[in-house]
Structure 1
């Protein structure tokens, strides 16, 4: 049971923090150029941008799409992308958009055929994973951020906790997931949760099933995003230092700084969340004894493009 809990905890950390890192990438551009040397700690991985299946007609200059992956393998090894998200920096509509894609989605992986989308990373790393996103959903992604492992509680404690509105269902199970190092939460309503408490909140799975648990992940991410925007510039280097040893990307330090400065106008906006496929537009199906999330790829592609490019 202990090993299972640790594995589940690690997966949740990846899902939330790949997005947190992307948010911090934006914050880097806010006059904190002395972070340049810290950014040099990022593990840069070159990919062939000529072989990413990019759909150029969707390459709007005011919208930047970045693939975010969380992999279930130790640093230095290739594993499946347990978490797959698309971060869209939309200056046209002045929004930061975050799309998550269900990991069991049944799609065509170039050169491999129909399979779960999270297998693409295991088959060909970020190169094939990005190509799979572009070719199936008509996207123009050229860059990525991958996280192998990190510690959500440490980062949340660094920013002074996160404010979460707890329901009766949340409270019923949250304290059951707390270790001996954290204080139990009493009462529903808005509470400032420390790192361990927030982690326990994310691990709840018996109230509302997996969809509600996914919603909790997004709730914590939203709370972290809001809190990060309030963090004094002097504390940002420490947060980044804690995260960067777990990041792999094809961005250079200069490109990250440029990304931050060119998107400063988005820092005062809220993050808009989305998930594919949408509720009511997919079904679970066993194919040759393996479970897949099956959906109409054409309809889902149109839903995603509308969210990224039109809203």
Structure 2
């Protein structure tokens, strides 16, 4: 019985995380679109601050054209992978948040597809493992290939944001108001001290529990606490708390501040998209602006189940059924 309850809690946690991730994504899309409107040529120059990387387009695991050809106008539908990583100490990091943003002018929709990070998938060169491990093994190249091969997609573009870059944005917005409980207070200052040493900052320690106004380093330290009784579950919950507070701050920020936010954020974004690509995509998003904004999650309920292998939790799923569902949703709007 306890195992069933634990699995249900995992599902609840993932659904909440998807909802928050969706809000954060929409917040950044709003910043992009508004900035295009008010930034003009100045904004175009900002996009050259992106960490631009090239992908080997011949090694992205994309299925043959014949498999997509039954979907009318599929070439007009654009899919972009979004990865949220928490890479500490300069490591590649696991992609704890994975979404596919679909700009669909055929059905006049903007779609967001969340992929379960614990999905039990085949990772080229590494065998069966969790989906989110692909990014740590081989960066965006292997992560996209793994998504394409295991979910039947044709993704060629990506954008990655490191959770470690959030202090920059948080400080621009003037900090966040968060609640620190007594147990968290026992651990947060060691994380603050560690981040100060790594970043060359001097964020002060927290001296009492309760409501706190935290700067960027303090908020990141809070999100990384992992030794409380709730373990990783509470750690991911703290991630959601920080992201929710950040979204609320972004929502109340004047659009005239967006270019300044982008100026600080873009150097922390890695992508294969060029400045011209991004502005073109922004125009396409505006083109479907009057259409529906929809989201889904895969594997869908009923087509996957939690399983433990060698003491590690995975989400196994019906691969053939899921590939059909993903393609029908993205390309045929079913």
State the alpha-carbon separation in 1 of the partners of residues 93 and 166 from structure 2. 19
Alignment-derived partner of residue 32 in structure 1: 39
State the alpha-carbon separation in 1 of the partners of residues 293 and 170 from structure 2. 19
State the alpha-carbon separation in 1 of the partners of residues 158 and 121 from structure 2. 20
> Where is the helix percentage greater, Structure 1 or Structure 2?
2
Q: Deviations over 1:205-245 (max 9, x none)?
A: x9xx99xx7xx88x959x77x949x953x332023223213
2:115 aligned to which of 80, 95, 101: 101
Aligned CA distance change for structure 1 residues 121 and 53 (closer, same or farther; 3 Å): same
- Alignment of structure 1 residues 1-311 onto 2, 5 Å: 15=21, 17=24, 20-22=27-29, 24-30=31-37, 32-33=39-40, 34-55=42-63, 56=65, 57=68, 60-74=74-88, 76-148=90-162, 149-151=164-166, 158=173, 180-181=211-212, 227=251, 232=255, 234-311=256-333
Q: Deviations over 1:55-94 (max 9, x none)?
A: 3326823311000111121485312111111111111111
Contact kept, 8 Å, 1:25 with 1:256, in 2: the verdict is no
How far off its partner does 1:263 sit? 3.0
RMSD: 4.2
Contact kept, 8 Å, 2:152 with 2:326, in 1: the verdict is no
State the alpha-carbon separation in 2 of the partners of residues 88 and 282 from structure 1. 23
Q: Which structure 2 residue ranges, 5 or more long, are not aligned?
A: 1-16, 185-208, 214-218, 224-229
Q: Which structure 1 residue ranges, 5 or more long, are not aligned?
A: 1-11, 162-173, 183-195, 201-205
State the alpha-carbon separation in 2 of the partners of residues 81 and 250 from structure 1. 17
Corresponding residue SS for 2:323 = helix
State the alpha-carbon separation in 1 of the partners of residues 305 and 138 from structure 2. 27
TM-score (norm 1): 0.70
Contact kept, 8 Å, 2:55 with 2:272, in 1: the verdict is yes
How far off its partner does 1:21 sit? 3.7
State the alpha-carbon separation in 2 of the partners of residues 117 and 67 from structure 1. 13
State the alpha-carbon separation in 2 of the partners of residues 289 and 118 from structure 1. 18
Aligned CA distance change for structure 1 residues 47 and 130 (closer, same or farther; 3 Å): same
TM-score (norm 2): 0.65
Contact kept, 8 Å, 2:47 with 2:266, in 1: the verdict is yes
Worse overlay, 252-261 or 123-132? 252-261
State the alpha-carbon separation in 2 of the partners of residues 27 and 269 from structure 1. 18
Contact kept, 8 Å, 1:67 with 1:84, in 2: the verdict is yes
Aligned CA distance change for structure 1 residues 28 and 261 (closer, same or farther; 3 Å): farther
How far off its partner does 1:156 sit? 11
State the alpha-carbon separation in 1 of the partners of residues 172 and 108 from structure 2. 30
